[in-house]
Amino acid sequence: MPAYIIGEIEITDPDAYKRYTARTPDVIAKYGGRFVVRGGNGEAIEGAAPNRVVVIEFPDRAAARRFYDAPDYQEILKIRLGASKGRMILVDGV
């Protein structure tokens, strides 16, 4: 069953965030993931829309956890945490 990492992000340092986004595609692909949504033109239909939404699909929850917990992602995660605020969730698909 596929699993998804969903991020709602408010970018606070655009230059640093660009360094993060430049490095993530290769790491995501390494763990079997692919972007379904990356940024986009979000429109709030209920509540407030974050300024950036990311949805990454993985083959399963275990692959998503391997990605998130991997040393190569944890290294670049520090960049995102310093350049943005928001939340990330892991959810199973149907």
> Which residues is 89 bridged to in the sheet?
6
Share of the chain above pLDDT 70, in %: 99
Domain count, the chain: 1
| Predicted pLDDT of residue 42 | 83
| C-alpha pair distances (Å), 55 with each of 24, 39, 48, 87 | 13, 9, 18, 12
| Predicted pLDDT of residue 44 | 86
The domain that holds 70 is classified in CATH as 3.30.70.100
| Predicted pLDDT of residue 31 | 97
| Predicted pLDDT of residue 49 | 80
pTM of the complete model: 0.91
Q: What is the pLDDT of residues 36-68, one digit of tens each?
A: 999 877 888 898 888 899 999 999 999 999 999
Whole-angstrom distance, CA of residue 36 vs CA of residue 19: 20
Domain that holds residue 46: 3-92
Asked if 65 and 47 touch (Cβ cutoff 8 Å), the reply is no
Token pair belonging to 71: 């040393």
